[in-house]
Amino acid sequence: SVGGGWFTPVINYPEVAILGVGTIAQQPIVNAEGEIVVGRVMKLSLSFDHRIVDGATAQQAMNNIKRLLADPELLMMEG
């Protein structure tokens, strides 16, 4: 890493999509009680070929990745 926290990955043929994963950094966030607290934030960037993948489908994939990263125990569940 060169110290950056955010980037946009470039798709190379024959790739259809690529996920960029940034560094985890402490940033102010609002918790469930509406309080501003220090949280750990990791930025993700998904580049994809719009000729093959619909934008709504790509967003659903990102939402699912976010859900799994927020609650890693879901990765251990069966069925």
* Position 3 pLDDT exceeds 80: no
Residue 10 lies in a domain: no
Per-residue pLDDT tens over the stretch 10-60: 999 999 999 999 889 999 999 999 999 999 999 999 999 999 999 999 999
Q: Specify the number of domains making up the chain.
A: 1
1 has pLDDT over 70: no
- 8 A C-beta contact, residue 47 and residue 10: yes
- Residue-wise pLDDT for 56-79, tens only, equals 999 999 999 999 999 999 988 776
Q: Which residue has the tokens 């607290």?
A: 37
Give residue 30's domain range.
17-71
User: Would you say residue 79 lies in a domain?
Assistant: no
Percent of the chain with pLDDT over 70: 95
Q: Confirm whether 51 is domain-assigned.
A: yes
| Sequence-ordered list of residues with C-beta below 8 angstroms from that of 30, at least 6 positions apart, any chain | 36, 37
**Domain assignment present for 3:** no
Q: Which residues are catalytic?
A: 50
Has residue 54 been placed in a domain?
yes
Residue 78 is assigned to a structural domain of this protein: no
Residue 9 lies in a domain: no
Tokens 């990791």 found at: 42
